[in-house]
Amino acid sequence: MYAVVAERSVPEDPLAGLRTGPWPEPRPPQGWATVEVRAAALNHHDLWTLRGVAVLPGQLPVVLGSDAAGVDEDGREVIVYPVIGDPRAGGGDETLDPAVEFLSVQRPGTLAQRVSVPRRCLVPKPAELSFAEASCLPGAWLTAYRMLFEKAGVEPGGVVLVQGAGGGVGTAAVSLGSAAGLRVWAVSRSAQKRCQLAELGAERVMAPGERLPHKVDAVIDTVGEATYAASLKALRAGGRLVLSGATTGGLPPADLGRIFANQLSVVGSTMGTADQLARLAAFCVHTGVRPVVDRVLPLSRVREGLTAMDAGELFGKVVLVP
């Protein structure tokens, strides 16, 4: 089958380690299913793997990709949940299973014609969602869903600030939060993206460093070091900073005095559960909200999508079709 593979990590030139072409067919063990991929979405994790960030010993080569939607062996349209874990071992959350594995890390990923996963990782795809839309949900959109509705602790009418709002998680947080009745303020360096974020439902759009009208209840941040200090300063007393990424670095000054004096919470969040993915899909159906797709490309043009993502030229997701 045709696949997109991280053959090696090259920090200074990540695409130099990328290979596309023939790859062995999946050999699913008992209890697993093989899905014919109809659409797969890119994530920054794909670039990080190619750069060698947090790559495990012996991980490479590996098929990239963690997001996909397709058709299983029984002809059912499904969304592929990329976390392979036992909810019982994680206290009801498979992402907390000590033996958890992820597609494109310990297991071959979704940027291929076919991918195999445990049957419990197959979430029914609602007919109302296209394959391209559904393929965006397991990564950025599920991450934003958990950050907003489990970790942030903000009720409808509360104010949430989204840092780096033009990216995949950011646009998802703006769309989901607005649809759920949150007052969403969005920060982006790009004037064009700020206009697009307003169209998605952001109540207020701002450039980095712009003064806020008042403190906010929670901050959604995937940027990390570059925005950490501003995120803490934006919070009201008792507010919550939810982090799910560190694209600009992961070692900012902790500012412990501000945290304890204002009784702030700094909360980490990774992915979401398979049950949350099913609820996210249902939420999209019932509210009419849909993932923002920047472009749809054939799998053979994956380099084009990765280059655009690396350059920050996207608003929303890149979707690849085999």
Give how far Cα 90 sits from Cα of 69, 85, 160, 208, 244, Å.
26, 8, 29, 38, 19
Respond yes or no on whether the N-terminal peptide bond of residue 208 is cis (omega within 30° of 0). Answer: no
What was the pLDDT predicted at 246?
84
Instruction: List strand residue ranges (DSSP E) for the chain, in order.
Output: 2-6, 18-22, 32-41, 62-63, 67-71, 77-80, 83-84, 101-102, 114-118, 122-124, 159-162, 183-187, 204-206, 216-221, 235-243, 265-268, 293-298, 317-321
Give the chain's length: 322
Q: Which two tokens stand for residue 286?
A: 């019932």
Q: How far apart are CA 127 and CA 52, in angstroms?
A: 38
Question: Distance between CA 32 and CA 23 in Å, rounded?
Answer: 19
Query: What pLDDT score was predicted for residue 145?
Result: 98
pLDDT less than 50: residues of the chain: none
Span between the terminal Cα atoms of the chain, in Å = 10
CB 35 within 8 A of CB 72: yes
pLDDT at 81: 98
